[in-house]
Structure 1
Amino acid sequence: MKLRNVLSILVAGIGLSTFCVSGYAACINNPPAQADSTFPASLTGKLAYHSYVSYGDGTSQIFVYDFSARTLTQISRSSWGIKDPMNPVFSPDGKWLAFMGVTNNAWNVFVWQVGSNNAPVNMTNSSGQTRNEDPKFSSDGGSLFFKQNGDVMQATLSFTSAGPTFTSVTDVTNSAASVESSMPFPSPDTSAVYFAVGAGAGSGLYKETIATHTRVAFDTPGGIDAYYPIVRADGTVFYARWKDATSQLDQIYTKVNPTDTPSQLSIDDCMSNNSDPSPVNNTSYVFFSSTTAGGYQLYLGDVSSGKRWNLGQFGVNADNTKAKLGSNYWTPSGSPQSALLSQGKQATASSSYSASLGPSQAFDGNLTSTRWDSVEGSGAGSQWLAVDLGAVKHVDRVELYWDAGAKVYSIQTSNDNVNWTTIYSTSNGGSYTHVTLANLNGSGRYVRMLGTQRATQWGYSLYEMQVWGS
């Protein structure tokens, strides 16, 4: 049975690269699986997915495969009291896992601390008033997008000693019940959200700018199902779409702009269903589900070469009676090609609250006890914290360990400490949280955080600011 028909409008799925998508080849019949020994050794992260016999039968469980430790673990537990947990997604820092499941006879969104013995936190707490599904983190980890009763919601996350909470929830699409919006995925800068509207032959993909609520059709082929958008960090959108209206076989496509022609990928099997793409940032790899072997099994594909690897060698596809869907790959911090560049380096700031809370305290390697504080209160205005890397470096990630955060801020680079280039910006920063800004593409000797609007009554304060790159 086709995934789309089974799930109706439920989903799963998560993604800088210079690969040209327009040149990708079309699907091929029965593509061969590559030898197990050639599986890319550079993939050392974790893969989350769910597995069930049939949708809604109570058999769904969530699994995580750790490519570094080479372990496969069922992380969902009966003690949680959650029926059919599915569609797991990692937070950008890999410390949390969001998913959907049924409790109190209602679909809810949960967040679980990875590796802990704690029960998941029910973020939506519905007992039938609302139906909550399809959670996805923003790239900075400060928001969680999900579907609630046919609308796309954006919830601002705060992590306290008691666990994660929603500090605000905003209805982004605000078009239910006349229009069913589902499967939301935010753009890399969280300025827009992609989502599906409708189901089956009447479905299509849309992009909405969050600040203005301007909505444009992204791919609405008419008579052909298009759904499940996942956005790689370079802005490439991966999604599932029928090969044609007659066969109704799911294939994976990509495009960047609404006006682009969709590109069918050569990892697709023309004779089977291929869906639930999860692209790996900074690479041409994508995890996905395919029925090539008779049921939905998990594969890794290289969209630049068309090569496919069956994940059977890792035990992931051992039980062929169950479908494996909704894969989500997390890349660990400090990957082999990325190094910590900023620790112990000379730092400056626009202001400091006191000598003991100076800029060097944010680059000393202590994540919890020492910090930089700017001046406080309304006089804080715009403030910055900068580090001198000693030479021009490529910057691919910044970690911000906030003591008191910025609602509006940017990350900037400079070669001369005078002229600055913005490589990341947000107007939706959090108050007290650890934020991973992954998949950046900047270069410079100097890197700074420029805050222009506080998220708290205090000033700007960072326990630590880490600049990663090469």
Structure 2
Amino acid sequence: MRTQLLSLGVAIGATFALFGAPSQANCVANPPTQSNTTFPASLTGKLAYHSYVNYGDGTSQLFIYDFAARTLQQVSQPTWGIQDPMNAVFSPDGKWLAFMGITNNAWNVFFWQVGSSNMPINLTNSTGQTRNEDPKFSTDGKSLLFKQNGDVMQAALSYTSSGPVFTSIVNLTRTAPAVENSMPFPTPDGTAVYYADGTGANMGLYKQTIGSTSKVAFDTPTGLATYYPIVRADGTVFYARWHDATSQADQIYTKLNPGDTPNQLSLNDCNSNNSDPSPVNGTNYVFFSSTTAGGYQLYLGDASTGQRWSLSQFGVNSDTTRAKLGSNYYAGGATPAAQQIGLLSQGKPASASSSYSSSLGPAYAFDGNTTSTRWDSVEGVAGTQWLMVDLGSTRTITGVDLYWDAGAKVYSIQTSNDGVNWTNIYSTTNGVSYGHVALANLKGSGRYVRMVGTQRATQWGYSLDEMQVWGY
């Protein structure tokens, strides 16, 4: 059993079979490894994981194996200045990798843009003894759950031109330091969160409705540490649990409902630790770590048949001196909206009902600078004013970010296909005087998008440092 899990969460779940699995399974002593030639060809996504010699020795590094390109890459770099990066998870669209690591003597949560040479972005910016760990995305990618000093936090995400930022953080559990809550994972519909409660042999799994502090026990066997919940898209929860109190060996279990009997998967080796499962949505496959070969190595398993394939053929397990853990698989099969969502407006043609001067024209609200350039309308009797961007073609609009220098108390966001007929997709009578406003979950479409202000929130005109239109 990996003792660091008693104080530090890692990542990802195991699996019930989707199609007619038996209600109960059992571990197998020294299960056979399938031939490399039978490795499922349907798996063409990317697998992230971390590798270290010994936990906490400063050797942990992040890797991505690309099954389509057949390439293995160490993505963490010395220039990052981050000690022990680990527990990486892909965003639902595969564009970002969230992970935990140490800077300024504290565990922090970082975002790295997949495939880029950019430095990771520190989202938590903690120092000293603060611990920010176990990041997990919501299904829509609009929030991130993580552990902070023994409580489960939910942070709302905004994807700006400078990268992701937290726009708010809510403490969901509020029990620390009396009770340690860790390793959160949201339900697919985002209404609840699973997490581990307690430490050591007293660690069990609970399910809590988001917005409420009430929780129900999901799996809390006496004397058997139970932790690491991961939820597949169909709602099945995968997690690790001790096989028995004597050996304390990790085994992968699944359950769908709190009242169900835990299902110990037959892909488990009874004589080793089996942990950190990462299920592949829509299939019975699950990536996981196992000590069958002597140290933690990565495998693929079939939860319905118990078949196991080693990832050694891909070079993933080539360095046997290092443990491989925290696997997370991105299949590339997100919904079209999630796959293609992005910033649509930057650098696009812009116009406005008025401008205070040529140096404060509408184009400056779409130049990617959220602090030093801006559009200003006329001042004084500004009345109704608008700022518009031409996206070039009809697009689906999912969000708008407004960086107000001088705000509107009453305003609307409108879309149009022809620039003549307009549809409201958002409106408010309680706008802010200044600052960043993220309008998420919008539903609209059009080639043209505009902000229409009808009542100022200051004595000045309307002024936007930046207006960002998001969608696909």
TM bracket, shorter-chain basis: 0.7 to 0.9
Partner Cα distance (1:154, 1:103) in 2: 21
Q: 1:6 aligns to what SS in structure 2? A: helix
Q: Percentage identity across aligned positions?
A: 62
- Give the aligned partner of residue 229 of structure 2: 229
- Give the aligned partner of residue 468 of structure 1: none
The aligned amino acid for 2:9 is V
Aligned partners of 1:17 and 1:282 also within 8 Å: no
- Give the aligned partner of residue 111 of structure 1: 111
Q: 1:52 to 1:178 in 2, by over 3 A?
A: same
Partner Cα distance (1:135, 1:261) in 2: 28
The aligned amino acid for 1:65 is Y
Q: How does 1:128-277 map to 2 (within 5 A)?
A: 128=128, 130-277=130-277
Q: 1:30 aligns to what SS in structure 2? A: coil
Match among 394, 397, 404 for residue 361 of structure 1:
394
Aligned partners of 1:48 and 1:89 also within 8 Å: yes
Distance apart, 1:177 and its partner CA = 0.4
Measured against aligned partners, the alpha-carbon deviations of 1:166-213 in whole angstroms (never above 9, x if no partner) come to 000000000000000000001101111100011221110011101222
Partner Cα distance (1:190, 1:128) in 2: 32
Q: 2:312 aligns to what SS in structure 1? A: helix
Aligned partners of 1:155 and 1:166 also within 8 Å: yes
Partner Cα distance (1:178, 1:405) in 2: 43
Q: How does 1:1-12 map to 2 (within 5 A)?
A: 2-3=1-2, 5-12=3-10
Aligned partners of 2:142 and 2:157 also within 8 Å: yes
Partner Cα distance (1:50, 1:138) in 2: 22
Aligned partners of 2:412 and 2:451 also within 8 Å: no
Aligned partners of 2:411 and 2:427 also within 8 Å: no
Query: Could you say which structure has the larger radius of gyration?
Result: 2
Q: 1:362 aligns to what SS in structure 2? A: strand
Q: How does 1:370-385 map to 2 (within 5 A)?
A: none
Aligned partners of 1:145 and 1:155 also within 8 Å: yes
Question: Are 1:94 and 2:94 matched, yes or no?
Answer: yes
Partner Cα distance (1:159, 1:191) in 2: 22
Partner Cα distance (2:174, 2:72) in 1: 40
Q: 1:406 to 1:67 in 2, by over 3 A?
A: farther
Q: How does 1:443-462 map to 2 (within 5 A)?
A: none
- Give the aligned partner of residue 441 of structure 1: none
The aligned amino acid for 1:270 is C
Aligned partners of 2:17 and 2:303 also within 8 Å: no
Q: How does 1:46-125 map to 2 (within 5 A)?
A: 46-125=46-125
Distance apart, 1:12 and its partner CA = 2.1
Distance apart, 1:405 and its partner CA = 8.2
Q: 1:458 to 1:225 in 2, by over 3 A?
A: farther
The aligned amino acid for 2:239 is Y
Aligned partners of 2:158 and 2:164 also within 8 Å: yes
Q: 1:292 aligns to what SS in structure 2? A: coil
Which 4+ stretches in 1 moved above 4 angstroms? 14-17, 353-358, 376-381, 403-407, 448-451, 456-459, 461-465
- Give the aligned partner of residue 13 of structure 1: 11
Partner Cα distance (1:9, 1:334) in 2: 33
Q: 2:395 aligns to what SS in structure 1? A: helix
Partner Cα distance (2:241, 2:136) in 1: 20
Q: 1:334 to 1:140 in 2, by over 3 A?
A: closer
- Give the aligned partner of residue 331 of structure 2: 331
Distance apart, 1:355 and its partner CA = 13
Distance apart, 1:333 and its partner CA = 3.7
What stretches of structure 1 of length at least 5 have no aligned partner?
A: 341-352, 369-375, 386-402, 408-429, 436-447, 466-470
Measured against aligned partners, the alpha-carbon deviations of 1:412-456 in whole angstroms (never above 9, x if no partner) come to xxxxxxxxxxxxxxxxxx9467x9xxxxxxxxxxxx9599xxxx9
What stretches of structure 2 of length at least 5 have no aligned partner?
A: 341-385, 401-407, 417-423, 429-436, 454-467
The aligned amino acid for 2:243 is K
Q: 1:384 to 1:25 in 2, by over 3 A?
A: farther
Q: 1:20 to 1:218 in 2, by over 3 A?
A: farther
Q: 1:264 to 1:127 in 2, by over 3 A?
A: same
Q: Which moved more, 1:240-249 or 1:306-315?
A: 240-249
Q: Which moved more, 1:15-24 or 1:174-183?
A: 15-24
Distance apart, 1:8 and its partner CA = 2.5
Q: 1:322 to 1:214 in 2, by over 3 A?
A: same
- Give the aligned partner of residue 398 of structure 1: none
TM-score (normalizing by structure 2): 0.73
- Give the aligned partner of residue 350 of structure 1: none
Aligned partners of 2:93 and 2:334 also within 8 Å: no
Q: 1:404 to 1:64 in 2, by over 3 A?
A: farther
- Give the aligned partner of residue 344 of structure 1: none
Partner Cα distance (2:218, 2:471) in 1: 39
Partner Cα distance (1:153, 1:296) in 2: 30
Q: How does 1:334-353 map to 2 (within 5 A)?
A: none
Q: 2:173 aligns to what SS in structure 1? A: coil
Partner Cα distance (1:363, 1:254) in 2: 38
Distance apart, 1:464 and its partner CA = 4.9
- Give the aligned partner of residue 32 of structure 1: 32
Aligned partners of 1:405 and 1:462 also within 8 Å: no
